[in-house]
Structures are given as C-alpha cells and as structure tokens.
Amino acid sequence: MKMSFDFEWILLELSFLPAVFASFMAAIHITDIEAAINHWRAKKPSLDGVTLAPELRALAEVYALMVYHHEDEVDEAGFPAKAWSAWLAWYDSTPDTPCIAICSTSQGDDECKGCGRSFEEVQHWPAMTPVEKRVTWRRITMEDKAWRFNTYAERAREAVPQAGTLPAPGDDASA
C-alpha cells in the first residue's frame, strides 16, 4: 500500500515553528544574571572582600548596565564573550529539563501537567538553545501551576521529618 503525504500541510506546520519560538528568541532575564552571579560568588569568593573573580566581574558589568538602563532582559547576541562564558558555565550547573517523568502531552494535553511545558516545547527541547530553555524555565516557574512546583514539592516536604519530631510507632528509624 502506497502512502501519500500532504507536503503543503507539512510545509505549513514547519513554517509555524518559528512563530512558536519567536517569543523565546534570545533574551536573558536579569534573574538569570543574578543567579549566575551568586553561583560564581559561591564558587570563587573574594579573598580580600574587594577583588572579583573574572567570571563574576564580567557578569557584574552586564548586570550593572541592565540596572542602570532599567532593563530586565539582555539580548544574547550582544553579550560580551567573557560574560557569556561565565553565564554558560552557570547554566551547565542547572538542571537541563523541568521534566518530572509524568508527561501528559503524551496523553494529548497541549501543556504538560507535570512540568508545565507546551507540547511544542517538549518536542523541540533538545534543539532549543540554553537561552530558549531558560525562557521556558522562567515562564513555568512564574506560572507555578505544574505538578513540579506543587503536588510533588508538597509531598517531598511532607516526607522530610521536621526537627524535633520522633518517628511514628512501628517506623524503623535505623532503616
């Protein structure tokens, strides 16, 4: 049996993809710059309280300009090379994917209940740039409705015994 393909439909679908990711185009949010700065402050603290590590200095310059110009995002394209290297090193220390292995997009949902990503984001995640991934991470964190941020986080907190509490009778604390 010969299968036929509707090439016009495929081209239409492919032409839609850039529009899907247009909102993701290469803008690093100031909170990611702050997180990268804090990463480098912890990794390479100042020995004299004044001198900054090169990575920290590069990111601090970008951050200072963003604050001065009242900008909350900076374009990836114009990022200084040293700051970009420092930001990427921080990015590499973060989780790559928000997936919690409960993907409702495989069941037909447009948005995953587990991680909060859209079907398109889940499908194209491996091809997305670090900046596009961080834009997605920021959106799903701000929306705060995925199970990643509530149901499972609550269960994890409940599973950790509070200081000063004793195990319930019958619980084997030594296991």
What are the extents of the domains in the chain?
21-94, 95-159
Summarised one tens digit per residue, pLDDT across range 25-77 is 568 999 999 999 999 999 999 999 899 999 999 999 999 999 999 999 998 88
Query: In the prediction, which pLDDT does 164 show?
Result: 58
Q: Could you tell me what percent of the chain has a pLDDT over 70?
A: 71
How confident is the model at residue 20, as a pLDDT?
44
pLDDT tens column, 127-139: 999 999 999 999 9
Mean pLDDT of 151-174: 59
What's the rounded mean pLDDT across residues 86-98? 94
Q: Mapped to the 3 state alphabet, what secondary structure does the chain carry?
A: CCCCCCHHHHHHHHHHHHHHHHHHCCEEEHHHHHHHHHHHHHHCCCCCCCCCCHHHHHHHHHHHHHHHCCCCEEEHHHCCHHHHHHHHHHHHCCCCCCCCCCCHHHHCCCECCCCCCEHHHHHHHHHCCHHHHHHHHHHHHHHCCCHHHCHHHHHHHHHCCCCCCCCCCCCCCCC
- The pLDDT value given to residue 163: 60
Q: Does the pLDDT at position 103 exceed 70?
A: yes
Q: Work out the pLDDT band at 10, boundaries 50, 70, 90.
A: very low
